[in-house]
Amino acid sequence: MADNVVQQSKKKKEKKSKGIWVLIVLVVLCALGIGYYIYTNYKTYHTYNIENKVDMEDTIESSYGMFQNKVVKYSKDGIMLLDNKGDGIWSRSYSMKAPKIIQKDNYLVVADIGGNSVYLFDRLGEVHDYTMPYPICDIEVSGQGVLAVVLEDDKANYIQLYDKEGKQIVDSTLTVQQSGYPLDIAISEDAMCMVVSYVTIDGIHIKNTIAFYNFGSVGQNANSNKYVGGFYYTDAVFPKVEFIDNHTACAYGDTKAVLYKVKEKPSDDTIEIPFDTAIRSVFSNNKYIGFIRNNEKQPEKGKYIVDIYNTKGSSVLREVVNIDYQKVKFDGNDIILTGEYECMILRMKGGEKFRGRFQNGITDFIPLDKKNQYLVIGNKSILTIKIK
């Protein structure tokens, strides 16, 4: 009887000891998992491996962008879609004085600003080419391949919409006396709404109008120009407008930004984001809008202030950075700032993800599909790198 009690007690101790060890192992594994998460999500990378290099002779004369996770190389003489090895997928020759590219979802546009030529491409190559009746001031494309073009001549400005087959959908004539001079234009993802920033000078007074147009049934019932609402400002000039998502537009001013909710018509409830110093750069994706300003109050801590807001106007990030940047853009939950020879990547969670220098210079710094892999467009080469 006594032996049974001893054996039962021994088994209980062994079971308890085993349970403690299992718990310890689980705690250690959990700690290692948390540590690995923190390490991979908050680590700052300073070096990189070059995984591929393509020598290019004309990177200075050419400009670069991204389309369908591929590199777009364009110049005054033509445009080409390249794979990550630098090989051409498709190309088109043209002659333009000031080519500008924009892309949205499955469509890429190159237009000759000040000229008359426009080319619309999908991922396989050309969809359509257009010759505009007047010089092009600005152009946008929707996710469905609809073009919104601002044209001008000596007498008036014209806003025209074309579908991807080349058919003209809308043709509006706007005189400077009636509406003002168009500074910028944007079209919604579904091509149903458009926003235009106009400026009017009356003597010494400047008025900026943010005008909205609808190309559906609401706009057809409104008037011949499809105008459905607008906002007037005398305290700011807005040189840039855009749709953040299909129902949110933003106007970027010199000292403030304004968010508009747009569902067929703009809502009267707007959100203003004021700044006490002038905005140096703006950038956005479909979730956030970003601003960079000079750090005038505490320049010793860094040259610039990076502010990020969501589409409700709430601040989600503020970082002070010290880099002589020339370009800035979102990459998912990261922010990429590139200078002539230096690149910095900020995390939306805060802090630096990467900072590095490239002796051959940086024309562009482009994220690729694989984690921590980037394409570096230099003065004489294209590098595929992985930061470490």
- What does the pLDDT profile of the chain (388 residues) look like in tens digits? 555 555 656 555 555 566 666 666 666 666 555 555 555 556 889 899 999 998 876 656 788 888 887 889 999 999 999 887 778 999 999 999 999 999 988 999 999 999 999 999 998 898 899 999 999 999 999 988 999 999 988 878 888 889 898 888 887 776 666 778 889 999 998 889 999 999 988 778 889 999 999 988 776 665 667 889 999 999 899 999 999 999 999 999 988 999 999 998 999 999 999 998 889 999 999 899 999 999 998 989 999 999 999 999 999 999 999 999 999 999 988 999 999 999 999 999 999 999 999 988 998 898 887 889 998 988 888 899 999 8
* Cα–Cα distance list, 196 to 27, 108, 109 (Å): 58, 21, 19
Task: Answer yes or no: are the C-beta atoms of 55 and 380 closer than 8 Å.
Answer: yes
Task: Answer yes or no: are the C-beta atoms of 293 and 303 closer than 8 Å.
Answer: no
Task: Answer yes or no: are the C-beta atoms of 174 and 156 closer than 8 Å.
Answer: yes
Rounded to 5 degrees, what are φ and ψ at 184?
-160, 160
Burial state string for 239-274 with b = 16 or more CB within 10 A and e = fewer than 16: ebbbbbebbbbbbbbeebbbbbbbeeebeeeebebe
How many angstroms separate the CA atoms of 44 and 254, rounded?
33
How many angstroms separate the CA atoms of 287 and 237, rounded?
24
